[in-house]
Each structure stands twice: as C-alpha cells, then as structure tokens.
Amino acid sequence: KELASISTSLAPSQAVSEAASFTLDLDLNGMKTSITLADLEKDPAYLEGKGSYTTSAGTRYSNMYSGVSLSALLGRYMNLSPEDSVSFLATDGYEMTYPGSLILDEAEGTWLLAFKMDGDYLPKNPSYIRTIKVGPKDPNIDGHLSVKMIKSVVVKQKGFKDFSLSYSGKMSGSMDRST
C-alpha cells in the first residue's frame, strides 16, 4: 500500500499556548502586580510534590503538582501574619478566604499555587491555577480548600475574621467558616 501523506506539528499544545497569555494578579495590602505562568515557573519558590484533596462526596484525588510556594511568594512582598486574610478570586466569581495561619502552617506540607498536574499545565477549564497542599506524606485537604480557577490573590493585613453560625429548629447544630 502506498502512503499518501504524513503530517506532524511541533507547535505547542492548545493548553500551553493559552497558558502563555494568562496572568495572575496580586493585590498585597494595596500593592498590585501581575505575574505570568512563565515567570512563576522560573521562580525560585517553584517546587513539585504530591498532594490530595477529597470532595464533599468523599472522592479523593491525589496527583503530583508543580507550582510556587504560596508563603514564599507572598513573603517576597510582605510579612504574612496568622491574622492576615488571603483571598483567592476565581475567574467565575467564586471567592475563598484563608487565614494567614493556614498558609503559614507547613507541618504537613507546603501550600502551592499549582499550575501543573502530573507534569502537564492545568487546562483553562477548570483552571490554570489552583491551591493545593503538597508534601512528602501526600497531605490531604478538604476539596473546598483547593480553590480552582484562580485569577487573583488579595491579602489584607489583620483582616481575617473567623465565625460560626448556630441554628436550631427541626435540626440544630453549628457551621463554621469552612462548612
């Protein structure tokens, strides 16, 4: 049989091309800057590690993630304290706020702004960047703490206010900020 043609492309994949134009916005106590994924990949705080999250349905996802240590990146611009608020704003409008104490606690691992999973860039959908905790013992976090689709990070000093809500009626109980 005769071969009609062979074609190949050395062009980067669509995920790599789209990721090249993405920027992460930082607003750290009023100082604003933007960083590309290429800049983050060359950052001295870049690291790789295994991390997991478990969804509310109980499904555990465990992968190798690559990204930048959140505490190291923020530490370049400010002294993060346990009372500070670190908010992650997603491209779809979702927002999650961590206390500084959560990011500073590295007993089980390091919080990453991850942009690669198992060696490949995270795709635009569900996100280019997500938060995940990585470490030698494969730390596992609640799925709602693994914020995806991050477009910006906002830090406010001494701004974190934890809370709980009590309810009673046919059922009674309480919910905290993470519920």
SS (H, E, C) the chain: CCCCCCCCCCCCCHHHHHHHCCEEEEEECCEEEEEEHHHHHHCCCEEEEEEEEECCCCCEEEEEEEEEEHHHHHHCCCCCCCCCEEEEEECCCCEEEEEHHHHHCCCCCEEEEEEEECCEECCCCCCCCEEEEECCCCCEEEHHHCCCCEEEEEEECCCCCCCEEEECCCCCEEEECCC
Judge whether 26 and 78 are in contact, CB under 8 Å.
Answer: no
Write the CB contacts of 152 (distance below 8 Å, at least 6 apart in sequence).
Answer: 24, 25, 26, 27, 88, 89
Alpha carbons 155 and 157: distance in angstroms, whole number: 7
Rounded mean pLDDT of 142-152?
90
Judge whether 157 and 29 are in contact, CB under 8 Å.
Answer: yes
pLDDT at 107: 93
In this predicted structure, the answer to whether residue 9 has a pLDDT above a threshold of 70 is no
In this predicted structure, the answer to whether residue 176 has a pLDDT above a threshold of 70 is no
The overall average pLDDT reported for the chain is 85
Backbone torsions φ then ψ of 92, nearest 5 degrees: -95, 5
Any idea what the Cα angle at residue 60 is, between residues 56 and 66, rounded to 5°? Answer: 115
In this predicted structure, the answer to whether residue 15 has a pLDDT above a threshold of 80 is no
Name the percent of the chain lying above pLDDT 70: 82
